[in-house]
Structure 1
Amino acid sequence: MMPSETTRAAALRVRLDGGFVEHARFTGPPVDFNDWTPEELGAIWGALHRAARFGHDDTARRELATALLAQATSMNLAPALAGAMFLDALDAAGDYNREWEYVIGCLACLQGEAPASTAGQARRILGKTSGWAECPYQAYLLARLAGGDAPAQFAQAMEERHAHYPMPLTLHELELLPQLAQASLLALAGSRYSGHWNRDSIGEADPAVVLADDAAYVDFARTILEQAARHIAAIHDGGVPYAADAAFATADSQVLARAARVAAYRDDAWFRPVIIVLLPLVCVAPGTAKSAPSQSLAMALGHAVETIPTPESLLALRTALAQVRHAGIRKKLERNLKPAERALAERPDIAWRIGMPGPMGKRRQAMLARRLEAGYASDVRLGLDQWRALRDDADIDTVARALVWRTGDGQAFMLDGEGAIDAWGQPADVPLQGEGEIGLWHPLHGSGEQRAAWQALVTQRRVRQPLRQVYREIYAPPGDGSAPFSGYQLSLPALLGLARREGWRLDDDEGLSRGFGAWRVLLRLEGRVYPGAGGACTSNGLAPAQMLPLAPVAYSEACRAVDLLVSASALALVEDEQSVQREERLSYLANLPPGPMAGMRRTVLRQVFAQQIEAGRMALEPRYLMVGRHAIHLTTGRVTLDGAEVATEVLAKGNKLAAVPWLPYDEALLEKIAATAGVLLALHRVQPGC
């Protein structure tokens, strides 16, 4: 029995290693890792991975090991490996680089020093030098474990691979590895996206977060970024000959982008002038050509700014978009802009350092509104000095005066002349001088009475708010614990296109996820969902509220974002009885542009409710059917009253819209919308008459 190996761990090892059991059909009791220690997991780690491989013909062992590894992964369990347990775990690895990720994981779990006999295992796993350049960070750690001539062979292999580039930045980074801390090496080697890392790197931590605390790497990051900025400036000055897309190697672009993320995480002062020069100049060729010095670096830096923006890097991104002539680069950078603005709002300590740069006018006002709105989920607040700077800025004072604000002690107010007023238009004694904090008011911050008062005040004064605020949709967790927004057929092209622009990312086998403040929420999807997918999928809803203990405002904002996705891509309600014809119809509709589908739905409703619309009892808007102050969403059937969701009892009986000859699709959802409209008309003491 190994050190720290318990009886149950020893018994499981016997089963995993194919040892003797008393009966051929014996499977043993179910294994639950809930109360297992890391040391116990370490005792069986090698046996688990050996049994899960296809080097034997024992199907029962393989299925047992696969199920147990899935259980450990779902619980985020990691073993503690030391001495013989570490060697046993390495013994389970094959001698090809597809196994290196597993080996690096074992190395991250190593307690203390590696045993002396580790060198032989590491050399076996490394294999031939021809494959080392594919995973250089992993290869370096294994070469260091192997010792002997392996580190020299690694250095020679990397020299042959990268030295011929004009600026061999990748080679310089690899030469830096011996100076880095073990945590930094493991961060680089343990990430599948250590090179081209962005927010679509599913389930991965950014290695730059760890590298930002490593002094050697921080110095390296500054050196190469300043060098790159000088190089690109020399190209534009004519000191270096220009060649399209040849300023940097593709691999070097990823090193520069990682260095930019390191500097941005630290918010180093030296990085500010560098990124303002580097990003715009790398996107545009000298003269009038529509090419660029480096497409790869332009796009990699765009991802870096989107991932962890600073005020200066966001300014550089906007400048680049204003200058770029290359259509492909423009398209990529435009996708980075909105998520970058949202992410900067999550860094309120630096977000307002340079105020609101940009040209005067409505565009600058819209930028301010978006940044303020993006801070809702995190309850971002401004210092009074920052807030006064916004108020006193003549160009964006209009924005500040059209919004409802909230002091640190919860007092809501609007600006009125030189003073402030409350929701009922009465003067409010709000301290606007000295120290303190002010944030954006959210409808959930007030009672129903206060929300109605603010809505009435804004309407009476004809205030046009730069963002939906007093009439903002609000959401509360369902009382029955169910998952909201489930049961819809969604068009994948429309869903994925909008999700990418709105900052969602695909999570393996689960759905779409997005951060809201300190929380990450998941919209669960069923079907084959992958980038570029066509057809339709089924929404299984936002993960239940009990799984997401979000703050009320964050939960409401998450639901609002999900509502947008569902509203823009919903084809139909999922019906209990499916048919081949209906599936074919939905598959066809899923790949149509959303405009014609929404237009046809409005056409049907306009014909069905023609009398009511003509009489002014209803109004048909682009996304809603309005009945008084109630709004029925045309693609989800959700009913709101002044932005707040309300429950309605839909009539069980009524006209069957399936009989309408021009009905385009999905009878169930149109019936729901029409029946709900009838209920609301009755509530307003008007007979539907259809």
Structure 2
Amino acid sequence: MMPSESARAAALRARLEGAVVDHARFTGPPVDLSDWTPQELGLVWGALHRASGFGHDDPAHRELAATLLAQASSTNLAPLLAGEVFLDALDAARVHDWDYAIGCLACLHGTPPEGSAQLALRILDEPTHWGEQHFAVWLLAQLAGGDAPAQFAQMMDERHARYPMPLTLQELAVLPQLAQASLLALAGSRYSGHWNRDSIGEADPAEVLADDAAYVDFARTILEQAARHIAAVHDGSVPYAADAAFATADSPVLARAARVAAYRDDAWFRPVITVLLPLACVAPGAAKSAPSQSLAMALGHAVETIPTPESLLALRTALAQVRHAGIRKKLERNLKPAERALAERPDIAWRVGMPGPMGKRRQAMLARRLEAGYASDVRLRLDQWRALRDDADIDVVARALVWRTGDGLAFMLDGKGAIDAQGQPVELPEQGEIGLWHPLHGSGEQRAAWQALLTQRRWRQPLRQVYREIYEPPGDASAPFAGYQLSVRTLLGLARREGWRLDYDEGLSRQFGAWRVSLRIEGRVYPGAEGACTSNGLAPAQIMPMAPVAYSEACRAVDLLVSASALALVEEEQSVQRAERLFYLANLAPGPMAGMRRTVLEQVFAEQIEEGRMALEARHLTVGRHAIHLTTGRVTKDGAEVVIELVAMGNKLGAVPWLPHDEALLEKIAATAGVLLALHRVQPGC
């Protein structure tokens, strides 16, 4: 380590451990960790965590430490700990602070120094709570040595040995055979059990375990064992009792094993999951109970997280057979995200083709799977794409879509050949990759040409493609989709179905390809909440680094949330009366509310609609090629957003008690329509 690095680390440590400052504003110069080394960060790691904890009267030091820890996390800077530095860092852990202690072990360079055992014993404390995070406790017990491992084993035996198939104990027995990376993955994850799409931002330990031969063998053993057991329950060899086929604590073990097998896409897993998931959901005979609710739901999460074609088929089979209403509701939430996730695994996604009978429903499923690959820029090999078209339904869908080769050639199928946007024949390469064309892949002229071709030939696309809404990052510092009052109940219901995660600090989060996107929400937002909340838009840091298509698709998904749940614009002037009105509006059914809004606009613009200068659709008011969204007021032209400058609003629309919407939003829509009508008179082709 350079002397200058050691000096500034020592200076920061002295500052963190110094006397309490006289005034909160006397905090010293700002600290930037961006050019610090892991060794340097290790020197202050213990001091940072002591200062960030509660229990002392130094808010200035606590704020500084919290800021620096967040800075290190945002830049993925981890400390390097060894010798006395490791002991100092571990000493900062409080009793039962297992997450932090495991983090220190993950940063340990070399073997644990002498003195580690005593610190580990202090952190472990009494065995009363050891079962809460048993992987972390097991690892710390090994570090502590002495009687700690035996105490831990006895405690777990007392909890689990009474079950006929104690899978948790079987998993603990395999831990000594695992690599250190696998142990740290298990011990360091808060979601080592029911890890699912709500665990965005947390590493799935199964992804690391999938490379550990000892755990892979264990996963196969217990999954095949569980499949035989559940089959025996159904054939009567084992007496049936509701929710008694497996211990609730063992369901996460089987779900983790299923995720390991799915990550690897092992062939042995395919017949196992097609038996295990459907049979866990339905009781033998006609009862509406199930052999194991907890396993059914845990496997549903596993399929949603990392699906294979066979596990997705098993999920659909389970939904077709299940009679338990609670299980059905849970599994239905897993289905759509699982379909999207499978689309991001194009190497295996089409192995079993598309399940189900031939027809429009199957074609719609195919279209959804293709569309889900937009954000990740999913492509197929050209020979693989040609082979898929031997399926009649796939060929029907493929002929209605615009495709794009690896070198950027956009084409549609026409007869036995291919054509471009002008309808001219083109030659496809013999090799390469092919994926769906997105409007952002072409210029405005190319988009218009494809739109004109489809209109001319009256082709109907199975998904919105050539007229797809496109979104580009704003040129200023504004946050897209900010400034709306949203119905909490509608927002959360739709968000869960669409695969969003509720994060109480960040709002709603969802993964789009390699990027995590957050819609910031202000207000009391939690499952079961009522009333309205405020949309503060996308987090600014996520706008620029994203690939253009991924950003557009993320915005399109956010637009759906906002459009479905928006009920008013945010206004500077707030009042008790307006808050009460928003609460009332937020709890109205969205269908009648939107219908009334269309009725009002139909009355206001009756003459223009009758003359054909304007059209009122289900969700939009259209003027020429422009469309105004009836919920958000967003204006698009052929799918691309346009900005319409409005003059300063005059008097508000007259307060009408029966209007089920906010007058400010209606006024914005009406004023925008007026501007577009005037523009259309001047430029009839717009």
- Whether these two folds match at TM > 0.5 is yes
Q: Summarize deviations over 1:436-480 as a string: whole Å, max 9, x none.
A: 322212122222222222222222222221111111111222222
1:639 paired to 2:635: yes
Contact 1:651–1:676 (Cα < 8 Å) also in 2: no
For residues 517 and 62 of structure 1, do their structure 2 counterparts lie closer, same or farther at Cα, with a shift above 3 Å needed? closer
For residues 119 and 644 of structure 1, do their structure 2 counterparts lie closer, same or farther at Cα, with a shift above 3 Å needed? same
SS of 1:35's partner is coil
1:648 paired to 2:652: no
Which position in structure 2 is the counterpart of 1:658?
654
Q: Summarize deviations over 1:221-256 as a string: whole Å, max 9, x none.
A: 010011111111111111111111111111111000
For residues 421 and 655 of structure 1, do their structure 2 counterparts lie closer, same or farther at Cα, with a shift above 3 Å needed? farther
The 5-angstrom pairing of residues 527-546 of structure 1 reads 527-544=523-540
> Which of 599, 624, 638 in structure 2 is aligned with 1:628?
624
For residues 395 and 54 of structure 1, do their structure 2 counterparts lie closer, same or farther at Cα, with a shift above 3 Å needed? closer
> Which of 169, 181, 205 in structure 1 is aligned with 2:167?
169
1:499 paired to 2:495: yes
Which position in structure 2 is the counterpart of 1:437?
433
Contact 2:422–2:453 (Cα < 8 Å) also in 1: yes
Contact 1:5–1:43 (Cα < 8 Å) also in 2: no
For residues 56 and 507 of structure 1, do their structure 2 counterparts lie closer, same or farther at Cα, with a shift above 3 Å needed? closer
The Cα shift of 1:93 comes to 2.2
Distance 2:613 2:24 in 1: 76
The Cα shift of 1:608 comes to 1.4
Contiguous gaps of at least 5 residues in structure 1: none
The 5-angstrom pairing of residues 59-208 of structure 1 reads 59-95=59-95, 97=96, 99-208=97-206
Distance 2:33 2:422 in 1: 59
Which position in structure 1 is the counterpart of 2:9?
9
SS of 1:258's partner is helix
Which position in structure 1 is the counterpart of 2:450?
454
Q: Summarize deviations over 1:103-141 as a string: whole Å, max 9, x none.
A: 111111111111122111111221112221121111111
> Which of 262, 271, 276 in structure 2 is aligned with 1:264?
262
For residues 357 and 665 of structure 1, do their structure 2 counterparts lie closer, same or farther at Cα, with a shift above 3 Å needed? closer
> Which of 211, 234, 237 in structure 1 is aligned with 2:235?
237
RMSD: 2.5
Q: Summarize deviations over 1:330-376 as a string: whole Å, max 9, x none.
A: 11111111111111111111111111122221111111000111111
The Cα shift of 1:146 comes to 0.9
Distance 2:23 2:310 in 1: 69
Contact 2:9–2:44 (Cα < 8 Å) also in 1: yes
The 5-angstrom pairing of residues 388-407 of structure 1 reads 388-407=386-405
Which moves more between the two structures, 208-217 or 5-14? 5-14
Contact 1:639–1:647 (Cα < 8 Å) also in 2: yes
For residues 26 and 572 of structure 1, do their structure 2 counterparts lie closer, same or farther at Cα, with a shift above 3 Å needed? closer
Which position in structure 1 is the counterpart of 2:364?
366
The Cα shift of 1:26 comes to 6.3
Distance 2:545 2:5 in 1: 38
For residues 381 and 600 of structure 1, do their structure 2 counterparts lie closer, same or farther at Cα, with a shift above 3 Å needed? same
Question: Structure 1 counterpart of 2:89, which letter?
Answer: A
Which position in structure 1 is the counterpart of 2:33?
33
Q: Summarize deviations over 1:67-101 as a string: whole Å, max 9, x none.
A: 44444444443222211122222222223x2x111
The 5-angstrom pairing of residues 478-493 of structure 1 reads 478-493=474-489
Contact 1:405–1:441 (Cα < 8 Å) also in 2: yes
Contact 1:384–1:437 (Cα < 8 Å) also in 2: yes
Question: Structure 2 counterpart of 1:185, which letter?
Answer: L
SS of 2:389's partner is helix
The Cα shift of 1:654 comes to 6.2
Contact 1:489–1:539 (Cα < 8 Å) also in 2: yes
The Cα shift of 1:428 comes to 2.7
SS of 1:493's partner is helix
1:524 paired to 2:520: yes
The Cα shift of 1:63 comes to 4.3
> Percent identity at matched positions?
84
1:408 paired to 2:418: no
SS of 2:627's partner is strand
Distance 1:20 1:494 in 2: 48
Distance 2:287 2:565 in 1: 39
For residues 571 and 116 of structure 1, do their structure 2 counterparts lie closer, same or farther at Cα, with a shift above 3 Å needed? same
Q: Summarize deviations over 1:612-654 as a string: whole Å, max 9, x none.
A: 2233322221211122222110011111122122222224356
Distance 2:297 2:522 in 1: 31
Distance 1:405 1:76 in 2: 38
Q: Summarize deviations over 1:637-688 as a string: whole Å, max 9, x none.
A: 111122122222224356742355654432221111001111111223299x
> Which of 283, 286, 290 in structure 2 is aligned with 1:285?
283
Which position in structure 2 is the counterpart of 1:320?
318
SS of 1:321's partner is helix
Which position in structure 2 is the counterpart of 1:295?
293
Question: Structure 1 counterpart of 2:155, which letter?
Answer: A
SS of 1:657's partner is coil
For residues 46 and 646 of structure 1, do their structure 2 counterparts lie closer, same or farther at Cα, with a shift above 3 Å needed? closer
The 5-angstrom pairing of residues 524-673 of structure 1 reads 524-544=520-540, 547-652=543-648, 656-658=652-654, 662-673=658-669
Contact 1:472–1:643 (Cα < 8 Å) also in 2: yes
SS of 1:420's partner is strand
> Which of 275, 285, 299 in structure 1 is aligned with 2:273?
275
Contact 1:604–1:662 (Cα < 8 Å) also in 2: no
For residues 217 and 583 of structure 1, do their structure 2 counterparts lie closer, same or farther at Cα, with a shift above 3 Å needed? same
For residues 74 and 533 of structure 1, do their structure 2 counterparts lie closer, same or farther at Cα, with a shift above 3 Å needed? farther
For residues 451 and 34 of structure 1, do their structure 2 counterparts lie closer, same or farther at Cα, with a shift above 3 Å needed? closer
Distance 2:541 2:136 in 1: 40
Distance 2:213 2:461 in 1: 47
TM-score of the pair, normalised by structure 1? 0.94
Contact 2:593–2:661 (Cα < 8 Å) also in 1: no
Count of matched residue positions in the alignment of Structure 1 and Structure 2:
683
Which position in structure 1 is the counterpart of 2:48?
48
Distance 1:181 1:263 in 2: 18
The Cα shift of 1:548 comes to 3.4
Distance 1:477 1:155 in 2: 55
Which moves more between the two structures, 617-626 or 161-170? 617-626
Distance 1:598 1:25 in 2: 51
Question: Structure 2 counterpart of 1:281, which letter?
Answer: L
The Cα shift of 1:219 comes to 0.5
The Cα shift of 1:489 comes to 1.2
Which moves more between the two structures, 299-308 or 475-484? 475-484
The 5-angstrom pairing of residues 503-518 of structure 1 reads 503-518=499-514
Distance 1:507 1:636 in 2: 24
For residues 553 and 26 of structure 1, do their structure 2 counterparts lie closer, same or farther at Cα, with a shift above 3 Å needed? closer
SS of 2:435's partner is strand
For residues 458 and 60 of structure 1, do their structure 2 counterparts lie closer, same or farther at Cα, with a shift above 3 Å needed? closer
Distance 1:80 1:292 in 2: 49
Distance 1:4 1:261 in 2: 47
Distance 1:318 1:411 in 2: 36
> Which of 378, 381, 386 in structure 2 is aligned with 1:380?
378
Question: Structure 2 counterpart of 1:273, which letter?
Answer: P
Question: Structure 1 counterpart of 2:500, which letter?
Answer: W
Distance 1:447 1:13 in 2: 55
Contact 2:281–2:293 (Cα < 8 Å) also in 1: yes
SS of 1:194's partner is coil
The Cα shift of 1:61 comes to 4.1
The Cα shift of 1:529 comes to 2.8
For residues 642 and 163 of structure 1, do their structure 2 counterparts lie closer, same or farther at Cα, with a shift above 3 Å needed? same
Q: Summarize deviations over 1:541-587 as a string: whole Å, max 9, x none.
A: 12337743222222211111111111011111111222222122112
Q: Summarize deviations over 1:299-327 as a string: whole Å, max 9, x none.
A: 11111011111111111111111111111
Contact 1:488–1:538 (Cα < 8 Å) also in 2: yes
